[in-house]
Amino acid sequence: MTNTAPTRKRRKDDRPGEIITAAFREFDEKGFGRSTMAGIAERAGISRTTIYLYYDTKEAIFEAAIRGSVEVTIDIVAGMAKDANGDFRTVFARAIDLIYARLVSDEGGVILKTLVAEGSAMPDLILFYRQEILSKGEAAIRALIERGIINGELSVACRGDDVRVFVAPAIFAALWLRIFHKIDPLDINAFKEAHVRLVTDGLLARP
């Protein structure tokens, strides 16, 4: 048997997803700026010019990826709202779990990193991400806190605080993983627990 490997395949429906997956690996390793269509094509195992049949530019691939993460966000926010009846510590810990799972994942992390890197050059995407992803998550956290205040669990003082402070360590952790983790590992679970403990209790000893 000669066993000549098929030189080409035709897979119109699968291509977009394959290209995005390949692009993520390329963006992650090289950074968006140094990534090329040729590099993405190679990882996807197709010819460079094939990509143009589906996406016009690198930016278009990235945009498609971001738009795809809108539904993921909706799921996460829904997950936060579900079973939000426990005490604040429990509910918040669950919310933080969901956020970390997303941001620590390759997809969420690379999107975040790429937005930081190239955001100034793509104002439309920045706006989209802000409106469809970040503000949804922010509102969900705000709701949790408001519930806690009404419960009497949380001090009223924190109503005026910028909600972003409470989630910031998660973003920090996601970026750390992509940049310093190889030379200086970060224990995600320990960090996550410290995060939750900080937000609920703070550092000062309670009398």
Contact pick of 29, 33, 49, 186 for DNA (by CB under 7 A) = 49
Q: How far apart are CA 96 and CA 130, in angstroms?
A: 19
Q: How far is the CB of 158 from DNA (least distance, A)?
A: 47
The count of residues interacting with its own copies (CB under 8 A) is: 65
**Contacts of residue 180, Cβ cutoff 8 Å, sequence gap at least 6:** 186
Contact pick of 36, 107, 127, 136 for its own copies (by CB under 8 A) = 127
| Residue 38 partner contact from its own copies, DNA, none using kind-dependent CB cut-offs of 5 to 8 Å | DNA
Question: At residue 171, what is the residue type?
Answer: I
Q: How far apart are CA 29 and CA 110, in angstroms?
A: 10
Nearer to its own copies, 74 or 127 (CB): 127
CB atoms near residue 110 (< 10 Å): 23
Which two tokens mark 53?
A: 């049949």
| Residue 206 partner contact from DNA, its own copies, none using kind-dependent CB cut-offs of 5 to 8 Å | its own copies
Q: How far is the CB of 5 from DNA (least distance, A)?
A: 9
| Residue 48 partner contact from DNA, its own copies, none using kind-dependent CB cut-offs of 5 to 8 Å | DNA
Question: At residue 2, what is the residue type?
Answer: T
Nearer to its own copies, 35 or 44 (CB): 35
Q: Does 54 bind its own copies (CB under 8 A)?
A: no
| Residue 162 partner contact from DNA, its own copies, none using kind-dependent CB cut-offs of 5 to 8 Å | its own copies
DSSP state of 158: G
| Residue 133 partner contact from DNA, its own copies, none using kind-dependent CB cut-offs of 5 to 8 Å | none
Place of tokens 């966000």: 73
Q: What is the DSSP string of 55-97?
A: -SSHHHHHHHHHHHHHHHHHHHHHHHHTTTTS-HHHHHHHHHH
Contacting residues toward DNA, per CB under 7 A: 6-12, 15, 36-38, 46-50, 52-53, 56-58
